[in-house]
Every structure is written in C-alpha cells, then in structure tokens.
Amino acid sequence: MRQASVERKTKETQIKATVNLDGTGQYAVSTGIGFLDHMLEQLTRHSLIDLTVEAKGDIHIDFHHTTEDVAICIGEAVAKALGERKGITRYGAATIPMDETLTEVAIDLSNRPYLIWKVAFTKPKLGEMDTELFKEWFQAFAQAAGATLHVWNKYGENNHHIVESCYKGLARALRQAAEIDPRKSDAVPSTKGVLGGSL
C-alpha cells in the first residue's frame, strides 16, 4: 500500500494528514471549516484516495492559515506516498460538468510544482469561507505534492458548482495520474530516469 502520514505544527495550526493512494475513497476529515471539509470529502470520494485530516487552527482570526496548511499536509503526504514515483501513469486530466458549470483539470506528477488557475468567482464567500482561499489551497497542494496543475473553469454561474467541479476535477485527474501503469510498473515515467529538476 502506498500510504503516508504528515504532521505540521506551527503557532497558527496543528494538523495531521494521512493518505492511502490505493484506497477506496474512505475519509475522516475535520478542519473546523465546514465548506473545506465538504470539498475534501469530494476529493477523497472521487479520487478513491483514502484521507484522514485532523486540523486545529486560528480560525477565530480567519481561515487562511488552516486552509493553506491543510493543503500543504495533504500534498506532502501524497508526495511521500508516491515515493520515487516509479511506475505511475504520471499524467491525468478530467473535464467535469456540474449543471451549468464546466471545469477542466490537468495534472502532471512531475515533481516540478506549478499552478495555472483560471477560475473566477462572483461572490467573496461560500458559506463562511473566502472564495480567494481556493486558489491558495490549490497552490499549496501543487507545491507540496510536486505537481504541475492546471485548473480552468470554462464557464459557470453558481460559485458552489464552480469550486466543487475544481475539486472533483483534481480528484479524477489525480486518481489517473497516481495509478500504477501495468505496462511499466518498474520504471520512473521520464527519459531522465527521475522526476523533478529541469525539463
């Protein structure tokens, strides 16, 4: 089983995250931020990556530190579980329709972090969560996981649908990219023989 746990303790947050890349979509998530919990549950269910997250943060100030640090912990756990990234498919992509909304997500588990975020919201908040924090979450995840990640909301009106389609798109793309390729399960998917560093 490709699984890993990460703990992060700062003056702002205390977080523990565990992932199992070969899971069945089981989750136990508690961040103190209801909407973020909902998105992480979607990420888990649609990626089939088992996820547990226990987070305590300074949400009496705002949700920024907890949101970002949760993404860092999940990303680091994914990177740790991938190990040398030997045998993975590496690339994944998904196009997610959600009623009036359509979002495309593409990922390369290249060990070269990069985020392209083409997502706009028409409201400053979803529930109690600032919509600007979703970019922060995806940025922190991409950085910590060592992923090149492109997220493009092509159109949509409902802000809930827009952000949920982003997480579901990440889930499906990550599921594909992290899967072991049975035709090349013993090799790193790169002509360099390693993932990361320069092109």
Mean pLDDT computed over 54-74: 96
* Residue 149 clears pLDDT 80, i.e. is over it: yes
Within 8 A by CB and 6+ apart from 46, the residues are 25, 168, 171, 172, 175
**Residue 194 included in any domain:** no
**DSSP β-bridge partners for residue 20:** 3, 50
How would residue 190 be classed by pLDDT, with cut points 50, 70 and 90?
Answer: low
Q: What mean pLDDT value characterizes the chain?
A: 93
Its sign, for the CA torsion 145, 80, 39, 37, is negative
**Residue 198 included in any domain:** no
Q: How far apart are CA 17 and CA 33, in angstroms?
A: 15
Q: What is the DSSP string of the chain?
A: --EEEEEEE-SSEEEEEEEETTS-S-EEEE-S-HHHHHHHHHHHHHHT-EEEEEEEE-TTT-SHHHHHHHHHHHHHHHHHHHTT-TTB--EEEEEEEETTEEEEEEEE-SS--EEEEE---SSSEETTEETTHHHHHHHHHHHHHT-EEEEEEEE-S-HHHHHHHHHHHHHHHHHHHHSB-TTSTTS-SSTTSS-SS--
Read off the pLDDT of residues 102-120 as tens digits, 9 standing for 90 and up. 999 999 999 999 999 999 9
- Full domain range(s) for residue 64: 3-178
Q: What is the pLDDT of residue 183?
A: 77
**Residue 89 included in any domain:** yes
Q: What is the pLDDT of residue 182?
A: 86
Read off the pLDDT of residues 160-177 as tens digits, 9 standing for 90 and up. 999 999 999 999 999 999
**Residue 187 included in any domain:** no
Residue 91, domain CATH: 3.30.230.40
**Residue 189 included in any domain:** no
Read off the pLDDT of residues 6-60 as tens digits, 9 standing for 90 and up. 999 999 999 999 999 999 999 999 999 999 999 999 999 999 999 999 999 999 9
Q: What is the pLDDT of residue 117?
A: 98
**Residue 185 included in any domain:** no
Domains of the chain: total: 1
Give me the percent of the chain exceeding a pLDDT of 90: 87
